[in-house]
Amino acid sequence: MSSLYLDHNATARVRPQAIAAMTAVMEAVGNPSSIHAAGRAARAAMEHAREAVAALIAAPASTVVFLSGGTEANALALESAVAAGTRRLIVSAIEHDSIRETAAALGVAVELLPVTADGLADLAWLAERLARWDAADGKPFVALMLANNETGVIQPVAEAAAIVRAADGWLHVDAIQAGGKIPVDSRALGADTLSVSAHKIGGPQGVGALTFGPRATLSRRQHGGGQERGRRGGTENLPGIAGFGAAGREALAGLETYAAQGAWRDAAAARLKAVGAVVMGEAAPRLPNTLCIAAPGYTSDLQVMGLDLAGVMVSAGAACSSGKVKASPVLSAMGQGDLAACAIRVSGGWDTTEHDWNRFADAWLEAHARHAARRKEPA
């Protein structure tokens, strides 16, 4: 039986256009910082990619800084805010580990922005908290992701931005899961900094980007030869950047194709709900490719293993915990503690079809039926 990969929120299959772009620059020679012909050609390839990534998030190319991935992009935003004088960070309770762990390591106070049962940021809480901000804590800093990597829930970022700006604060938006799946306009969203990653959209692993607006002051992430406008020294990962640019162009052109997955996902979810499964964040707007579903009494690890035996690959949440399967802090923050250990995430990609979603539902229902039968067997 052929395998079916439905874990694109962890990493997407690399697009052929990205492979071609990477191959082309690897077959050439030249450092983007060199001024001879080969260096100028390398620089041109890099800036062409920068323009494509900028277009993906509707940002000026001059504000796009290439980094080693989304984790570093998020870290640069938080570290820059602290370097600029912020002494207290507000991060949403559903942020990725790269936000929460970086915030915890910076030696400043950290507060969690709570979310509703549907996984949406509590903006009333945010407005009240910023209204009594202590000037001694410096400029307010708020991190709110655009779309959650586990549930797919899309956050009210523009509304949050209005609240943050009214308090003269800095809003960082992790758009790593949203980029290439829904339209992203970093300026219309009101983001002061916004991060994206190549491998979530069909580019290579190991390259990401951060865009910054005029209200953000980025610090130097890495000392060296002044690359990336002095914010990250070291010779740029030109093959990765070229692949990122190619993937960004394809992702932007294929947004409508991605949107079609919403109906396929919902049809699959309806079949699972008929036997008692629960969709996380169902009442909120979600990414069209993402389904987070829990089955009471059927733990996440058993679901993942059962599907894997059927050749269907999904995850038990974020794939950034060294292969561990553990209860999701995102679902716990949503008040779904009883179901947090019984949820899986199914995520389609740029090459996922309606048949793939149907096959997933078939495999899950078969595995669920076997599990239910075993639970009924006498001890």
Residues in Cβ contact with 58 at an 8 Å cutoff, skipping those fewer than 6 apart: 184, 185, 186, 187, 188
* Residue 339 and residue 208 share a domain: no
CATH no. for residue 82?
3.40.640.10
Q: Are residues 107 and 205 in the same domain?
A: yes
Q: Which of these is catalytic: 38, 110, 158, 320? A: 320
Q: Cβ-count burial of 286 within 10 angstroms (0-12 exposed, 13-18 middle, 19+ buried)?
A: buried
- 237 shares its domain with 278: no
Whether residues 262 and 206 share a domain: the answer is no
> pLDDT of 157-190, one tens digit each?
999 999 999 999 999 999 999 999 999 999 999 9
Mean pLDDT of 65-74: 96
Taking the C-alpha atoms of residue 65 and residue 59, their distance in angstroms, rounded to an integer, is 11
Residues 66 and 127 in one domain: yes
Q: Is the pLDDT of residue 321 over 50?
A: no
Paired tokens of 169: 């604060």
pLDDT 10s digits, 211-227: 999 999 999 888 888 88
Q: Residue 318 above 60 pLDDT?
A: no
Domain limit, last residue, from 209, 224, 253? 253
Same domain, 298 and 149: no
Q: What integer is the mean pLDDT of 348-360?
A: 97
Instruction: Please identify which residue in the block is written with the tokens 């071609």.
Output: 20
Mean of the per-residue pLDDT values of the chain? 94
Dihedral sign for Cα 147, 148, 154, 160, please.
negative
How many Å apart are CA 196 and CA 241, to the nearest integer? 12
In order, the DSSP letters of 227-285 are TTTTTB-S---HHHHHHHHHHHHHHHHTHHHHHTHHHHHHHHHHHHHTTT-EETTTTS-
Distance of alpha carbon 87 from its chain centroid, rounded? 26
320 is catalytic: yes
* End-to-end C-alpha distance for the chain, whole angstroms: 34
Rounded to 5 degrees, φ, ψ at 246 are -65, -40
CA–CA distance, 77 with 89 (Å, rounded to integer): 11
